[in-house]
Amino acid sequence: MVHIDEPDAPAARPCGRVLGTEDATPLEFWVAVAEGSVLQLDDVVALERALPEGELLRIYGVVTQVRARHEGAHFDSDVFLIEEGVLPAEVSESAQVLATRFEPEVFVPPLPGTPVRRAVGAERSEALFFDGMERRLPAGLSRDDEPLYLNLDFLDGTRGAHVNISGISGVATKTSYATFLLYSLFESGVLGPDAVNTKALVFNVKGEDLLWLDRPNIRLDDRQAARYARVGLPVSAFPSVAFFAPPRRGAPTPVPDVTSRDTGVTSFFWTLDAFCRDELLPFLFADAEDDRQQYTMVVHNVTARLREGASAGDGAVSIEGEVVRSFRELVDLVQVRLMDEEGRPDPRWAGPAIGAGTVNAFIRRLYGAVPHVQHLIRADVPDPERHRVVLERQVTVVDLHNLNDRAKRFVVGVVLRKTFADKERAGQARPLQLVVLDELNKYAPRDGSSPIKEILLDVAERGRSLGMILLGAQQTASEVERRIVANSAIRVVGRLDAAEAGRGEYGFLPGAQRDRAKILKPGTMLVAQPELPIPLVVEFPFPAWATRASEAGAVAGGADGTAGGAPEDPFEGLP
C-alpha cells in the first residue's frame, strides 16, 4: 500500500469565529464565517481553548449545516428593500459544527469569539481519528479529494466486524461500494501477507454487472484514475476472480446461463447424491412463509430418510433399492413413500401424528420447486465435480440473477452453509473469508425463521471470532433481522427513501445527515464507524473494473471489450 501520511501543514488562517448569539456546547456549536471565507458541509475545523491550569485544549469538529441570513431584517419582504438600499442590513453566514474530538479529553464548550480554522494535514488526521489507526483501510475520498479511512480493526474481527450498506436500488450504488471496499482490502496492502490467502465470496443477485470484475474499465478517465492514487490504490481490475453461474434450463449440456460473457464462466449444480447426503432439502423451504406452515416436521423427516440413500454413481442416488437420476424422479419417489397403501401418511417418512392435509401441502410445495431447481439438482452430467462452487481464487462470484427467488434462496443457503462449515472446521480466523450479499431483507427478514437466516445470524454473531466477515446490503434496513444489522461495526448509507430515512435503524445519523441521505448522488455514501462520533460523507472513485460488456477492456491473452465513451455521470446505472 502507498501509505499517505498527512504532513504537518502550517496552520490555516482563521475562517471564522465561534458565535456568541447561539449556545456553544461541548457537542455542538456555531461559527460565524468571516468575510471572504467559505465553510461548506463536511469541512473539518479546529480551534483551541486555554484551560485554567494553562493547558491548551484542542477542539475539532465537522461542519454539518451552513446558513446565510440578513441581519436587521424583520419581515420576509424586507429582502427587496435591503437590496434596493432602502433598509440597512448585513449578510451573515454561519456554520453548525458537531464536535468530533477533544485533546486532551476535557469536555468544555469553545468560548464565543474563538477563531476557527480549517483542519489540514496532521490536524485533519487527528480530528478524524486517523492518527490512531494502525491499519488504515482506504474508504474513499472527501468532496475535496482528501483520503478517508476505515479502521481495519473494526472490520476484520479484531475489535469488531461486518459492514452493512443501505440504500435505494439502482441509485445508492451499494454493490459498487461493496466491491470498492473489497478492492481496497486486497490492493491497499492493509492485510499484509494475509491478502494472498484472503477469499471473498460474492453473490451476484441483479444483472451481470459483477461478471466483469477481472476486466479493466475503458471508461475510466484520467480524473477518476487520479483519485485512486489519492488513496494509495493502483488502477486495475481484480487480478484473481472465478465466475460461477447456474446451467441453462433445458440445455443438453450444463452451459452457464449468462448472455454477456461466453468464456471464463463455470456452471454449477449439485448431484442428487450430494442433495440427499448433505441434507439440502430444508433449503428448498427457506421462505419465511414455510416457517409458518405445519409441514416443517415433514421436511425434517424426509431429509433424514433421504440421507440414508446410497450413491449409485455419476451423482445418482439409490433410495430403498430404487435408483433416482433426476430431481423430478426424486420428488415422485418421495410422494409415493409419504403415503402408505391405504392412502394414509407413512409415519416413517412423514413423522408421527402427521395429517394427510399437512403431507399434501408439503408435496404441493415440493412439486412447485421442480421447474425452478431441477437444473440445479441433477445426475446426468459426467464428472460432476467440475461443477462445484469452489473458493480457490481471491474473489469468487456466484451469479444468481437468472434464478427464481426460491432457487436463489436454495443456492445462497447451501453455498453459505458449506463456506461457514469450512471456516469453522479450519479453526482459525486468518486468513479472512469475506461474503458479499445484497437483498438481505430477502434472506434474513425481520420476521420468521429459515435455514438461511440462521446461518446469516451465525455469521453475524460468531463470524468475528471465526474470521468470516459479512458485507451485507439491502434497500431497507428496517426489514432486516435486527441482530444482523446491530452486529455490523461499519454502517454505510447511500440514497434513502424519505420514509425509510425516518426509521429508528438510522438513528446513528444526525438529523441533517438523515435529510441529506434523501438527496445523495450515486457514488456518495455516509459511512459510520465506531471511533468517529459522526458519519463521514465519502465519495468513492468510478470502478477501475468493468461493470458491463461495453466497458470491458483488453486483458492478458488478447480478449477485448467493446469501446464506449465516458458517460456524463460516471456512476449512472451502477447497482
* pLDDT at residue 289 in the model: 61
- pTM confidence score: 0.88
pLDDT tens digits, residue range 9-37? 556 789 999 999 999 999 999 999 999 99
Among 481, 413, 396, smallest CA distance to 164 is for 481
* pLDDT at residue 9 in the model: 54
pLDDT tens digits, residue range 439-466? 999 999 988 888 899 999 999 999 999 9
Query: In angstroms, rounded to a whole number, what is the distance separating the alpha carbons of residues 232 and 4?
Result: 7
The position carrying cell 443477485 is 205
Contact yes or no for 520/194 (Cβ under 8 A): no
- Fold held by 147-268+389-551: Rossmann fold (3.40.50)
Among 133, 210, 148, 147, smallest CA distance to 175 is for 210
Among 539, 537, 522, smallest CA distance to 65 is for 537
- CB under 8 A, 24+ apart: contacts of 333-342: 334/302, 334/306, 334/363, 334/366, 335/363, 335/366, 335/367, 337/305, 338/298, 338/302, 338/362, 338/363
Among 308, 312, 337, smallest CA distance to 323 is for 312
pLDDT, average across residues 137-145 = 93
Q: Does residue 252 surpass a pLDDT of 50?
A: yes
Contact yes or no for 130/100 (Cβ under 8 A): no
Among 540, 572, 7, smallest CA distance to 227 is for 540
Q: Where in the chain is the domain with CATH 3.40.50.300?
A: 147-268+389-551
| DSSP code, position 560 | -
Among 523, 528, 444, 522, smallest CA distance to 514 is for 528
Average pLDDT score, the chain: 89
Q: Side-chain half-sphere of 396: how many Cα atoms within 13 Å?
A: 23
Give Dmax over CA atoms of the chain in angstroms.
102
Q: Does residue 567 surpass a pLDDT of 60?
A: no
pLDDT tens digits, residue range 226-235? 999 999 999 9
pLDDT tens digits, residue range 181-227? 999 999 999 999 999 999 999 999 988 889 999 999 999 999 999 99
Query: In angstroms, rounded to a whole number, what is the distance separating the alpha carbons of residues 81 and 5?
Result: 52
Q: What are phi and psi of 242, to 5 degrees?
A: -120, 140
* pLDDT at residue 564 in the model: 36
Q: Does residue 8 surpass a pLDDT of 90?
A: no
* pLDDT at residue 571 in the model: 54
